């Protein structure tokens, strides 16, 4: 590592990433001092702000946390940790109250109770929403305002973490790059407690619903530092991203199908009832594969909201209606073209019930973590919930170590919009990045087989070795891609989000988590 030009002491806990997981943890740590790193201005660049459905919580009449846990386990295809599912479902109501207390304007009925939505594979109405499909945006706006009012939280924009730093076996900080500064010296930010909350890896795929900066950096960085990784092969593909050529692909929320919208192909055939008794509300992986196969067979797939929603889509799903308007589609009279897109990572950095990773000094929450809650397939709207539950537990855990004191002065790093836009544009178009994303979508996507996965691993190795753009950041991406493809090759069965055309059945012998180190993944890659 080159000589450092600066060394900053985070003075308290350091939270890497400013999505829901990171901000919730920072707020829960108050009044203990905490520094939050965000590569881009607060609120931008996070999947959290794009969430449409809402937060799952058993807060409706007749519903119970146990019923919620059972649905979670069923969706997770045999490898959800029961204890985790039960405890997360139990803590849901308290975390929703936190969000409400910090200003989230959840939809409520005339009596003040939550107006709950329904999503696929939930046995009750239990999605706490905001203005129909605006949950993520509204939650993030509320939390950002609360964070800005909280004197113990320092936000640093324009720093991207690229490496974890270890001393005597303990994580003691992160190396960061300044915005737009690819070749300058990295900045070291030291802290006794590092919380990695830098999101998932959807953006590693060419077709994704995730923001451009969410590309497996967290998992790659932690794996390179030696952390154990769990279930990396389990990627969820959302069945209904808008197929308008936009990158990222805008999402048409599942709640539309919850309201009765149907899927049809370009011959006008409704194909889901023949595939699953729940038709369009079958588990996500089944609907995603059905859409994928239609498209592979040369058909186009559309979401038809006309009968179910009519003009209501304009007021009750304003985000989706806006995406349609931008693409020149009128959902009141016409069909919405859709396709599957990489959406959510069930796997990630392995953590225990307190969010502790296998590396001392490193906690992980949000999509970057693998807590055992989602198993092979996430139940809709369980991820925002998981982010809050584990962020709160981590804050509790760290609070036992951190005294309450004041933040020491810290040199500011100013956000520069022009450099920010240029950096983003460059990252979007880098050939090495685009090649990697194409390989992931084509060979490590909705359907996989041994030949394709081996070819993917060889190409990832080649890109890593030959790319002129090998920065630490790119290495974090290829590392994550390697872990996903290697674990997918190793798991010779189909389960949840992982489907092998050469092993289409579920195998009871594989009813367990994958736990992998980077070393093991690299050995699989070398043999491919
Ligand atoms: C379109 C869409 C709709 C969704 N709808 C729902 C829903 O309705 N309900 C639900 O439960 N889930 C939903 N999800 C999933 C859910 O939004 C995410 O799983 C969740 O928001 C993840 O939160 P997070 O804080 O872990 O990550 P994010 O919100 O993605 O935040 C990650 C943060 O880390 C930062 N970061 C990234 N790399 C670095 C780095 N190297 N250094 C420093 N910082 C970094 C990012 O800039 C960002 O601030 C949806 C996801 C998408 C994309």
Q: For 406-464, give the DSSP string.
A: PPPP-------HHHHHHHHHHHHH-HHHHHHHHHHHHHSSSSB-HHHHHHHHHHHHHHH
Dump pLDDT digits (tens) for 300-344: 999 999 999 999 999 999 999 999 999 999 999 999 999 999 999
More confidently predicted of 80 and 469: 80
Ligand 1 atom with the shortest distance to the CA of 160: 42
Q: Are 291 and 319 in contact (CB under 8 A)?
A: no
CB of 38 closer than 6 angstroms to any ligand 1 atom: yes
Q: What is the dihedral of CA 265, 267, 273, 275, to 10 degrees?
A: -70
Dump pLDDT digits (tens) for 137-181: 999 999 999 999 999 999 998 889 999 999 998 999 999 988 766
pLDDT category of residue 467 using cuts at 50, 70 and 90: confident
Dump pLDDT digits (tens) for 183-232: 567 888 999 899 999 999 999 999 999 998 899 999 999 999 999 999 99
User: Residue 248: its pLDDT value, please?
Assistant: 96
Atom 49 in ligand 1: which residue has the minimum CA distance?
Answer: 18
Ligand 1 atom with the shortest distance to the CA of 381: 11
| CA distance between the termini of the chain | 30
Q: Residue 414: pLDDT above 80?
A: no
Q: For residue 517, what is the DSSP state?
A: -
CB of 19 closer than 6 angstroms to any ligand 1 atom: yes
What size, in residues, is the chain? 528
CA distance 121 to 416: 44
Q: Which of 348, 79, 366, 378 is nearest to 232 (CA)?
A: 348
Q: Are 433 and 212 in contact (CB under 8 A)?
A: no
Using the mean position of ligand 1's atoms as its centre, give its distance from the Cα of residue 89 in Å. Answer: 20
Dump pLDDT digits (tens) for 101-137: 999 999 999 999 999 988 878 899 999 999 888 899 9
- For 439, phi then psi, to 5°, come to -60, -45
Q: To test ligand 1's pocket by mutation, which of 383, 387, 424 has the most ligand atoms within 8 angstroms of CB?
A: 383
Q: Are 185 and 2 in contact (CB under 8 A)?
A: yes
Percent share of the chain, pLDDT over 90: 80
Dump pLDDT digits (tens) for 19-78: 999 999 999 999 999 999 999 899 899 999 999 889 999 999 999 999 999 999 999 999
Does this model's pTM top 0.85? My answer is yes
Using the mean position of ligand 1's atoms as its centre, give its distance from the Cα of residue 180 in Å. Answer: 22
More confidently predicted of 2 and 498: 498
User: Residue 452: its pLDDT value, please?
Assistant: 98
Using the mean position of ligand 1's atoms as its centre, give its distance from the Cα of residue 126 in Å. Answer: 21
Ligand 1 atom with the shortest distance to the CA of 54: 8
State the average pLDDT over residues 269-295.
95
Atom 3 in ligand 1: which residue has the minimum CA distance?
Answer: 51
Angle at 417 between CA 411 and CA 419, to 5 degrees: 85
Atom 10 in ligand 1: which residue has the minimum CA distance?
Answer: 381
CB of 198 closer than 6 angstroms to any ligand 1 atom: yes
Q: Label residues 378-389 b or e (16+ Cβ within 10 Å = b).
A: bbbbbbbbbbbb
pLDDT category of residue 3 using cuts at 50, 70 and 90: very low
Return mean pLDDT, the chain: 92
Q: Are 317 and 132 in contact (CB under 8 A)?
A: yes
User: Residue 1: its pLDDT value, please?
Assistant: 37
- The DSSP annotation for 167-211 comes to ETTEEEEEEEEETT-SSSPPEEEE-SEEEE-----GGGSSSBSS-
Using the mean position of ligand 1's atoms as its centre, give its distance from the Cα of residue 47 in Å. Answer: 3
Catalytic residues: 284
CB of 381 closer than 6 angstroms to any ligand 1 atom: yes
User: Residue 409: its pLDDT value, please?
Assistant: 67
Beta bridge partner(s), residue 176: 161, 187
pLDDT category of residue 346 using cuts at 50, 70 and 90: very high
Using the mean position of ligand 1's atoms as its centre, give its distance from the Cα of residue 86 in Å. Answer: 23
Using the mean position of ligand 1's atoms as its centre, give its distance from the Cα of residue 345 in Å. Answer: 10
Beta bridge partner(s), residue 165: 173
pLDDT category of residue 407 using cuts at 50, 70 and 90: confident
Q: Residue 2: pLDDT above 70?
A: no
User: Residue 420: its pLDDT value, please?
Assistant: 64
CB of 209 closer than 6 angstroms to any ligand 1 atom: yes
- What separation in angstroms does the CA of 72 have from each of 123, 168, 240, 418? 10, 39, 21, 44
Ligand 1 atom with the shortest distance to the CA of 53: 8
CB of 143 closer than 6 angstroms to any ligand 1 atom: no
Q: Are 271 and 300 in contact (CB under 8 A)?
A: no
Q: Residue 501: pLDDT above 70?
A: yes
State the average pLDDT over residues 365-393.
97
Using the mean position of ligand 1's atoms as its centre, give its distance from the Cα of residue 199 in Å. Answer: 5
CB of 47 closer than 6 angstroms to any ligand 1 atom: yes
User: Residue 400: its pLDDT value, please?
Assistant: 84
State the average pLDDT over residues 455-476.
88
Ligand 1 atom with the shortest distance to the CA of 250: 1
Beta bridge partner(s), residue 241: 251, 339
pLDDT category of residue 471 using cuts at 50, 70 and 90: confident
User: Residue 158: its pLDDT value, please?
Assistant: 87
CB of 35 closer than 6 angstroms to any ligand 1 atom: no
Q: To test ligand 1's pocket by mutation, which of 10, 24, 45, 48 has the most ligand atoms within 8 angstroms of CB?
A: 48
- What are 73's two structure tokens? 């386990």
What strand order describes the sheet that includes 170-178?
Answer: 6-9, 187-190, 170-178, 159-167
Could you tell me how far CA 336 lies from the centroid of its own chain? Answer: 25
User: Residue 469: its pLDDT value, please?
Assistant: 62
Helices (H), 225-261: 255-258
What is residue 29's three-state secondary structure? helix
CB of 197 closer than 6 angstroms to any ligand 1 atom: yes
CA distance 119 to 141: 24
Atom 21 in ligand 1: which residue has the minimum CA distance?
Answer: 48
Using the mean position of ligand 1's atoms as its centre, give its distance from the Cα of residue 307 in Å. Answer: 32
């Amino acid at each position: 590592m080159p000589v450092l030009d600066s060394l900053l002491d985070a003075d308290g806990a350091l939270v890497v990433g400013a999505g829901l997981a990171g901000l919730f943890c920072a707020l829960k740590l108050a009044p203990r001092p905490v520094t939050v790193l965000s590569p881009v201005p607060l609120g931008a660049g996070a999947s959290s702000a794009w969430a449409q459905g809402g937060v799952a919580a058993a807060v409706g009449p007749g519903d119970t946390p146990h019923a919620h846990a059972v649905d979670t386990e069923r969706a997770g295809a045999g490898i959800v940790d029961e204890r985790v599912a039960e405890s997360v479902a139990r803590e849901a109501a308290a975390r929703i109250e936190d969000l409400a207390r910090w200003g989230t304007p959840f939809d409520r009925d005339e009596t003040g109770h939550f107006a709950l939505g329904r999503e696929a594979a939930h046995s009750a109405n239990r999605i706490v929403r905001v203005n129909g499909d605006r949950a993520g945006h509204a939650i993030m706006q509320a939390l950002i305002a609360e964070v800005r009012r909280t004197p113990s939280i320092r936000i640093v924009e324009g720093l991207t973490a690229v490496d974890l730093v270890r001393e005597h076996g303990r994580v003691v900080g992160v190396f960061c790059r300044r915005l737009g500064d690819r070749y300058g010296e990295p900045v070291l930010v030291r802290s006794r407690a590092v919380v990695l909350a830098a999101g998932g890896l959807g953006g590693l795929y060419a077709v994704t619903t995730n923001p451009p900066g969410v590309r497996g950096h967290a998992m790659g960085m932690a794996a390179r530092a030696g952390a154990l990784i769990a279930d990396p092969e389990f990627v969820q593909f959302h069945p209904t991203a808008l197929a308008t050529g936009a990158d990222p692909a805008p999402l048409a929320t599942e709640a539309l199908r919850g309201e009765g919208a149907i899927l049809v192909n370009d011959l006008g055939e409704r194909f889901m009832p023949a595939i699953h008794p729940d038709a369009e509300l079958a588990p996500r992986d089944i609907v995603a594969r059905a859409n994928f196969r239609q498209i592979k067979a040369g058909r186009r797939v559309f979401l038809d909201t006309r009968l179910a929603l009519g003009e209501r889509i304009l007021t009750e799903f304003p985000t989706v209606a806006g995406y349609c308007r931008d693409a020149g589609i009128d959902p009141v009279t016409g069909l919405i073209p859709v396709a599957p897109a990489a959406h959510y990572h069930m796997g990630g950095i392995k953590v225990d019930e307190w969010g502790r990773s296998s590396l001392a000094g490193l906690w992980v929450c949000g999509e970057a973590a693998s807590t055992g809650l989602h198993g092979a397939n996430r139940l809709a709207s369980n991820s925002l919930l998981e982010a809050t539950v584990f962020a709160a537990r981590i804050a509790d855990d760290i609070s036992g170590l951190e005294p309450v004191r004041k933040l020491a002065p810290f040199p500011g790093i100013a956000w520069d919009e022009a450099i920010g836009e240029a950096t983003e544009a460059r990252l979007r178009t880098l050939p090495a990045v685009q090649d990697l994303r194409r390989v992931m979508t084509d060979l490590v996507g909705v359907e996989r087989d041994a030949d394709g996965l081996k070819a993917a691993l060889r190409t990832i190795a080649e890109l890593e070795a030959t790319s002129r753009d090998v920065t630490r950041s790119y290495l974090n991406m290829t590392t994550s891609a390697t872990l996903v493809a290697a674990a997918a090759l190793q798991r010779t069965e189909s389960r949840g989000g992982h489907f092998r055309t050469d092993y289409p059945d579920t195998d009871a012998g594989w009813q367990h988590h994958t736990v992998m180190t980077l070393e093991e993944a690299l050995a699989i890659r070398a043999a491919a």
